[in-house]
Amino acid sequence: MKNKLVPGKVVAVCISSRRGVKKQKVTKGSLIENTGLEGDAHASHNTLRQVSLLAVESIKKMENKGLNTTPGLFAENIDTEGIDLLSLKPGSRISVGNSAVLEITQVGKECHTKCEIYTQVGDCIMPREGVFARVIQGGTVKKGDTIKLH
């Protein structure tokens, strides 16, 4: 992955109305302050995991294991490229697009059950390399937007 100081970019934005399912790619999304991505089941005032991010560099690891991937397959909200998400620590802030600011709250997560992806290929990248954030400042997010360390 590239240096975290080099701006990255948004590759895809995805939402779903239910938890625990693949998210669908959308043209653009609205990040709502202290809530998450509008229309997504994980958007909530009561959680530190309002938005999930996953690097295409991580997704490619799963493709190398034979998995055909599409944006949102790992239930992530934002696919990124060129920013080393795993180097970000809780409390780090990133700017997305023209106005949105996200604060990293968690890197990785506990996987209580083996998901469909794990069943297919014997592994899933999201518990190790998924990054979670809360929305500090809202704004529109779309493919091609720049992501910078704030």
With a CB cutoff of 8 Å and minimum separation 6, the contacts of 147 are 7, 8, 9, 10, 80, 82, 83, 94, 95, 96
Q: With 0.85 as the threshold, say if the pTM is over it.
A: yes
Percent residues over pLDDT 70 in the chain: 84
Residue ranges of the domains in the chain?
Answer: 8-149
Question: CA–CA separation, 139 vs 32, rounded Å?
Answer: 7
For position 61, what pLDDT does the model report? 87
Q: Are strands 78-81 and 51-55 parallel, antiparallel or unpaired?
A: parallel
Segment 103-130, tens digit of pLDDT: 999 987 666 566 665 666 566 677 788 9
Burial category of 45 from C-beta neighbours within 10 Å (exposed 0-12, middle 13-18, buried 19 and up): exposed
> For 52-87, what is each residue's pLDDT tens digit?
999 999 999 888 888 888 899 888 999 999 999 999
Whether 1 has a pLDDT exceeding 60, the answer reads no
Q: Does the domain at residues 8-149 carry the CATH identifier 3.40.640.10?
A: no
DSSP 8-state code for residue 112: S
For residue 18, what pLDDT is reported?
A: 84
